[in-house]
Structure 1
């Protein structure tokens, strides 16, 4: 028998404020059509004044617990992915822990930008398989609206705020690709490309939060190639092929990247979970948000093979293959 980490609950939270593309038209040299054509984004959510990343994360975590039929007392730990923490420290995860009323176990953050949830999920999977935990909340949460340069139309129209969460629970499997749960993961980073996507501030440099900077064309080229490659690698590790995939749940950054990656994998767009139009790029929150939306619509059926993949600043990229 093999110990597997199975997703038993999903949840998400989006701030109440919805910002349509038209909001930018009298602030920037841009139009709704320009944004839609280049990104596929139609709207996004922005956190309210005084609403922090931990607030969004706590709401998403509670939703995942409710769907799993669990309470905070059933959870052994929290692994939270974010690039927009409330404070330099403590970890956002500890504030979620407190917000849920969880008084035992561990809670810590992972930072791999848009790939953060993939890294966090692989991390939690390893802890469960290693016997360090029975149930782990894995969360992606961001307030990217706080680090936007509102004069830069190439970036500020792309991002939004939100949070998504899953409950991972230990279950026994046969050790084959037919098991439920996480079957494989593939994680990668290359700091030589850090200048392609970064924030120009930080504690030990400027002492400020800074603003997001991106070389979009170069990020696009790296994203399509690296996402397709990591997905194939993870599938090979799991003993599966692209033809076995029921659903691709990619990082919701840009519709052109998503479409090109699906084509490279030989997957029709009908097998791709898409939320980018309504949420924009929510960085580490985008995949758990998409999983929660698809789960809530009962699109993910028991036994479905799901591939999640993401690339973000670092550059950091990776994928996870799981059976629902």
Structure 2
């Protein structure tokens, strides 16, 4: 899908939980802290008990609205992307954020497709604006708060989980940070990777003596390939190959060369993975978000918007006409890329 009427980002903002030192705290989460320290993260962010995902999302949204000069009444549509465990079951977080912001009867949409939720939402927003001539300003909010009752932030995968939110005011016809294209690749064979085992309708209560924190998520991945070790090796290769492919396909869809991508903002992965991503895509490591990842850690679906917000605040970081790729992967498995032009 390509833009017809066109959308661009008017303003960006983000909020983070309190910074925590990885070296000082890793031992409270895992019994092999050196493994986590070798990932290269310096800091992660942990939100307090009163900083619910709704409040993190609303705080980021207020900052973005203030920067844009808009009031809540100027928002025509709200899109909320959440990659964490929901605050409640059978409950709509987008409506909760709308209530927190005082949006009244403004329509809202909840997107919960893991770490790809916010980046892929741009094509939904573009489609919405294409078919609704009464929608001009869309507020996109992304949030992630690690539920430590369900997930060990240092043992869920090879990223270190972090808490925070980001928001973008997206406007019809705005010429800066203009959306160019979004592309996705799915491989449903791996839909069960990294799922939270207990608490859903299939297994609402964990068996006695166990629980979600006792589940070795990476071990589940290895067990999936236990009879086909060569398939595990191929899967590891495919992860970065498909990322490179999805970036290339987004560029093809937008009519730009991959060499024109000035900045690749990937999820805030560990430094080893960031180097692998740079090699796979051919984009130099210094033109990725590797240096931001060290201090932010993985804020779920908010990663790309947080990094874009930081780069946009820095002088001379992004030049007029630069193409920026917002890319990553999520459980499912989903690879995704959205391109914007500064």
Q: Aligning the two structures, in what range does the TM-score lie when normalised by the shorter sequence?
A: 0.7 to 0.9
In the alignment, is the contact (CA less than 8 A) between 1:80 and 1:120 conserved in 2? no
Please tell me whether residue 137 in structure 1 is matched to residue 139 in structure 2.
Answer: yes
In the alignment, is the contact (CA less than 8 A) between 1:21 and 1:157 conserved in 2? no
Q: 2:171 aligns with which of 166, 169, 172?
A: 169
Please tell me whether residue 207 in structure 1 is matched to residue 204 in structure 2.
Answer: yes
Q: 2:258 aligns with which of 239, 242, 248?
A: 242
Return the offset for 1:149: 4.3
| CA deviation profile, 1:65-123 (whole Å, cap 9, x unmatched) | 12222121111111111132222243212111111111232112111111111222221
Look up the match of 2:240.
224
In structure 2, C-alpha distance between the alignment counterparts of 1:315 and 1:279, rounded to whole Å: 24
| CA deviation profile, 1:246-291 (whole Å, cap 9, x unmatched) | 1111111222222222222221122213322112111111111111
Structure 1 pair 214/54, CA: closer, same or farther in 2 (3 Å)?
A: farther
| CA deviation profile, 1:43-78 (whole Å, cap 9, x unmatched) | 211121232111111111111112222121111111
Return the offset for 1:22: 2.0
Q: Paired residues, what number?
A: 317
Look up the match of 2:10.
8
**Paired residues for 1:1-324 under 5 Å:** 2-25=4-27, 28-31=30-33, 33-37=34-38, 39-84=39-84, 85-131=86-132, 133-146=135-148, 148-150=150-152, 153=155, 155=157, 158-171=160-173, 181-207=178-204, 210=212, 213-214=217-218, 221-274=237-290, 275-298=292-315, 299-324=317-342
Comparing 209-218 and 235-244, the one that deviates more = 209-218
Comparing 212-221 and 247-256, the one that deviates more = 212-221
Return the offset for 1:11: 0.6
Return the offset for 1:244: 0.8
| CA deviation profile, 1:213-241 (whole Å, cap 9, x unmatched) | 24578675443122111000000111111
TM-score (norm 1): 0.88
In the alignment, is the contact (CA less than 8 A) between 1:251 and 1:310 conserved in 2? yes
Runs of 4+ in 1 over 6 A off after TM superposition: none
In structure 2, C-alpha distance between the alignment counterparts of 1:160 and 1:4, rounded to whole Å: 33
TM-score (norm 2): 0.84
5+ long unaligned stretches in structure 2: 206-210, 223-231
In structure 2, C-alpha distance between the alignment counterparts of 1:83 and 1:312, rounded to whole Å: 10
Look up the match of 1:176.
none
In structure 1, C-alpha distance between the alignment counterparts of 2:171 and 2:82, rounded to whole Å: 22
Give the aligned CA root-mean-square deviation in angstroms. 2.6
In the alignment, is the contact (CA less than 8 A) between 2:150 and 2:196 conserved in 1? no
